Amino acid sequence: MRPLMAIEIPTRPDQLPTTAPRFVGKAVKRIEDPALVSGTVEFIDNLSLPGMLHCAILRSPHPHARIVSIDTTAALSLEGVEAVLTGDDVARWCAPGITAPEGWGNYCMAVGKVRFVGEPVVAVAAASRYIAEDALELVQVEYELLPPVANPDEAMAPGAPLVFEDRGTNVIQSRSYTWGDIDRVFAEADRVVSRKFRWNRVGANPTETFGCICQWDLADNSLTCRGAYQTPRFMALGRAASLKLPANKVKVISHAQGGGFGGKGGPRGTDIAALLSRKTNGRPVKYIEDRIEYLLAGGGQSWDRYYEAALAVKADGTVTGFRVRLVDDQGAGAEGYGTISAAKPLAAFTGNYRIEAAFYDMTLVATNRAPTYPYRGYGPPPHNLVLESLMDIAARELAVDPAELRRRNYIRPEQFPYTVPSGNEYDSGNYAAVHDRVLEMADYQALRKAQAKARAEGRLVGIGVVSTVEPGVFDWNAYATVGVPGVGVPEGVKVAVDILGNVTVAVGFNLQGQGQFTVAAQVVADYLGVDMNSVRVATASTDVAMPHFGQGGSRLGVAVSGAILGACDKLRQTFSRVVAHLMHAEPEQVELIDGRLQLKHAPEHGMSVAEVAGVMLARSDLLPPGVEPCPEATYVWTAPNRNLPDDQGRCRSYLTAANATHVVQVEIDRDTGQVTIPAYFIVDDCGTRLNPASVEGQLQGGVAQGVGAALYEEYVYDAQCQPLVSTFVDYLVPTIHEVPMTTKDHLVTPSPVAPLGAKGCGEGAIHTTPAALLCAINDALSPLGREILETPASPHRLWKVLHGPCA
């Protein structure tokens, strides 16, 4: 059999086998939308299986307590109840969840003691959710209360109660990184600006909460899970580990999601539903999380952080050093991989700037709050807020315009690829050009003149100019420092052509709203020269899908493009062999142009992709030796040239570096502390925009979440670790009236290393918006000599800043 040649993955759209791309780079209509708007998409709560039971969960009302006894007798006797699950069952059948670092995980249900309000204690499977909820009221649980630790200071104090007694400490991890001669840089600085910052917990809060249906096959000892899973392959591996099943005995079928943003959760609910199915002799069990459960402990809480940070600055405004000490409240363990969010800032630690040296001290602490989970941006948004706030403070102290101070410190275009002190490599960019374009678009000088006039009238008007880098296409090496070792994050696809020339792309991820099915269809349609209407994108279950990760880390548009291009190039090579054999030529003499496999020296002689597939499937007697009658190909793509981290965590951890500059104008009402946003401008550079409409949506959605984090959203706990947030009356999510419709433009600096030159953009504006808003608010407060260094800058918190005593 003739071996395939090296796979060719284009790094520019003009390298596609077409005279001109018809779909890539165009704002085509999304192929996902007809099913969504017609209501035919099957979300998990729409699905009902024969014999299905419904799960309800009794959750702990205490943040820290030993479980003395549980009496489920009355609940079991209620008509319609089929099974009750307690910690005794869990301890017998399960292992604690996998964590990073290891050893800080909980079981899916409290075993022996509870560690946070909302932790599952008892679960019921019944004929209906109503009966299951009624049964929970009949369960009697006796607790022995234990003193909780409500914050990191309490948790790290000598003699503090331990969240996990077997660990002997509440410090999950503590380590520091030094990049460059940080002590010399700060000693030689003309000025050091430093502040303490507090970022309070926020969360994803998708429209759809988590849901699943689990069915245990007792004869085969296998498990099938259907649900709203963001990373189905890893969910399957995690369930195999926690439920003590062989990995090939767990099948995850991922349904379309009504939002995710990293905070969907799912491991606990899935394990509980699976175990209830096991107890009911394999009947399917559905669990749909309600909003109160989500807000209490559903997997959406993130970024509970305390910062001390400083910049070393020269008299001319050159920033030479950046020092950060972070204490991160992880809550009751590391089960949700919230620790990764503290490690991700290594990928773009010094932002857009030529900062010579940096230092990062990171302490992760367990408390009796709910465990933290991923959230869109996965850690850099708070870090960017700290860095950009210090840049503004330095500008004020030096009497330099904050926009000018940033421009003086940008990495220059000729310096790319650029390695930041923390070791990651930025692939390309032109930060000054993006900066200049947004200042021009916003008419920055006019904004400043209007601000001066408003201040003369006694109004509190502020302007923020903030630049950030969005690292895209992550690698596990970025997170080795918190216990997630490895190099290479795969994304695999299968591309198949049927006998009539229709194309099916099988992917491992589900429909989640970003338009990635459309991107997949665009890329394959342009490569193979078929119409987008003839391309179908389908989600494969984990037992048959190619290795994949799915959404997360601003990666999927780039990664799935690479996988599709690799598979299509395999098809091109196979098709070229078929055409060459039929036309008595060599495969090297055949080229694919606009959907035709034709002879280079005689392009009038050739066959369409559909014709070649038809020959392969209907006339296998005509095929050359060694070519199977199978017009399909698979390919698994990983980011090239990633490497293991050194002892200071330095490594090439992300493939691409998108960037953006935001200019925002705010006004603060002196009497109420309410912030309004009259104007918001964005210029970004995410390389080739595979589908500009999708990029626009990602940016605007990121702004909405950034506005929430900066101005409204907060998971509030009292001094005894009792959550004070249980509904959207308590947890304020911005509406369309609070989120500005931004004015946008873009530049394109293609990535020289990524497929088609695209860069990650999925986390988008949430990297930048909170910093931009806080900088603008502090600019408004600066004439009063006041500042706010805590998020959210809610009306009540701002009112106290305005009317309280000066610091």
Per DSSP, the three-state class of 243 is coil
- Helix, strand, coil proportions of the chain in percent (round to 5)? 35, 25, 40
Cα–Cα dist 343/477, whole Å: 10
Classify residue 305: in a domain, yes or no.
no
CB distance 511 to 202 below 8 Å:
no
CA distance 277 to 286: 9
Query: Helix 556-582 vs helix 609-618: angle between axes, to the nearest 10 degrees?
Result: 70
Q: Which residues have a Cβ under 8 Å from the Cβ of 146 and sit 6 or more positions away? A: 64, 65, 66, 113, 161
Note whether 78 and 214 are same-domain residues. Answer: yes
**What's the domain range around 452?**
380-473+654-803
Same-domain pairing of 459 and 500: no
Does some domain include residue 545?
A: yes
- Is the previous residue joined to 631 through a cis bond, with omega within 30 degrees of 0? no
* 70 in Cβ contact with 141 (< 8 Å): yes
Q: Are strands 65-71 and 202-203 parallel, antiparallel or unpaired?
A: unpaired
**Residue 199 · residue 382 · CB < 8 Å:** yes
Tell me, yes or no, whether 715 and 771 share the same domain: yes
User: Cβ–Cβ contacts within 10 Å for residue 729, how many?
Assistant: 7
Instruction: Give me the CATH number covering residue 268.
Output: 3.90.1170.50
Q: Would you state the structure tokens that stand for residue 386, as one six-digit string?
A: 């700290």
When computed from its CA atoms, the radius of gyration of the chain, rounded to whole angstroms, is: 28
- Using CA atoms, how far apart are residues 450 and 444, in angstroms rounded to an integer? 10
Cβ neighbors of 346 (< 8 A, separation 6 or more) are 177, 360, 422, 423, 424, 478, 481, 649, 653
536: burial class by Cβ within 10 Å (0-12, 13-18, 19+)?
Answer: middle
Say if 599 falls within a structural domain.
yes
Q: What is the C-alpha separation between 444 and 219, in angstroms, rounded?
A: 70
Instruction: Note whether 77 and 220 are same-domain residues.
Output: yes
**Cα separation of 534 and 150, whole Å?**
57
249 and 141 belong to one structural domain: yes
Under 8 Å between Cβ of 567 and 494:
yes
DSSP states of 320-368: EEEEEEEEEEEES-STT-THHHHHGGGGGTTTTB---EEEEEEEEEE-S
736 belongs to a structural domain: yes
Residue 690: inside a domain, yes or no? yes
Give the whole-angstrom CA distance, residue 796 versus residue 568.
57
Same domain, 51 and 21: no
Three-state SS annotation for 17-72: CCCCCCCCCCCCCCCCHHHHHHCCCCEHHHCCCCCCEEEEEEECCCCCEEEEEEEC
Q: Of 243, 274, 289, which one is at a domain's C-terminal end?
A: 289
Give the span between the Cα atoms of 370 and 482, in whole angstroms: 20
According to DSSP, the residues that pair with 506 across neighbouring strands are 494, 538
Is 110 a domain residue? yes
Q: What angle do CA 438, 444, 450 make, to 5 degrees?
A: 145
Q: Is residue 698 domain-shared with residue 744, that is, in the same domain?
A: yes
Task: Give the predicted TM-score (pTM) of the model.
Answer: 0.97
Instruction: For residues 418 and 424, give the distance between their C-alpha atoms in angstroms, rounded to a whole number.
Output: 8
Q: Which of 257, 172, 272 is nearest to 216 (CA)?
A: 272
Whether residues 505 and 621 share a domain: the answer is: yes
Domain-embedded: residue 162: no
In this structure, are residues 433 and 425 in contact, taking their beta carbons and an 8 Å threshold? no
719 and 787 share one domain? yes
Nearest to 445 by CA among 401, 478, 486: 401
Strands 596-599 and 590-593: antiparallel
Residues 449 and 501 reside in one and the same domain:
no
pLDDT attached to residue 1: 47
Beta bridge partners of 222: 217
Residues 400, 523, single domain; the answer is no
Write b or e for each residue in 192-221: b if 16 or more Cβ atoms lie within 10 A of its Cβ, otherwise e.
ebeeebebbbbbbbbebbbbbbbbbeeeee
Residue 40 CB-density burial (10 A; 0-12 exposed, 13-18 middle, 19+ buried): exposed
Residue 561 parent element (H or E) = helix 556-582
User: For residue 369, is it within any domain?
Assistant: no
From residue 209, give the alpha-carbon distance in Å to each of 43, 227, 258, 264, 795. Answer: 11, 11, 8, 7, 28
User: Under 8 Å CB-to-CB from 46, ≥6 apart: which residues?
Assistant: none
Minimal CA–CA distance to 358: which of 366, 346, 376, 367? Answer: 346
Element (H, E) at 701: helix 692-707
Residue 509 Cα distances to 500, 537, 590, 636, angstroms: 26, 10, 34, 14
CA-nearest of 520, 482, 519, 524 to 502 is: 524
Find the CATH number of the domain harbouring 633. 3.30.365.10
- β-bridge mates for residue 85, sequence order: 123
DSSP secondary structure, 398-424, as one string: HT--HHHHHHHHBPPGGG-SEE-TTS-
Single-letter code of the amino acid located at 418: Y
Same domain membership, residue 616 and residue 570: yes
DSSP for residue 548: -
What CA–CA distance (Å, rounded) separates 792 from 272?
35
Asked if omega into 267 is within 30° of 0 (cis), the reply is no
Length of the chain: 807
pLDDT confidence of residue 338: 83
Task: Judge whether 665 and 779 are in contact, CB under 8 Å.
Answer: no
Kindly give, in sequence order, each residue whose CB lies less than 8 Å from that of residue 376, ignoring residues fewer than 6 positions away.
204, 261, 262, 263, 702, 705, 762, 763, 766
> How many distinct structural domains can be found in the chain?
3
Rounded Cα–Cα distance for residues 302 and 299 (Å) = 9
Of 590, 606, 637, the residue that ends a domain is 637
Final residue of a structural domain among 230, 263, 289:
289
Parts of the chain with a pLDDT under 50: 1
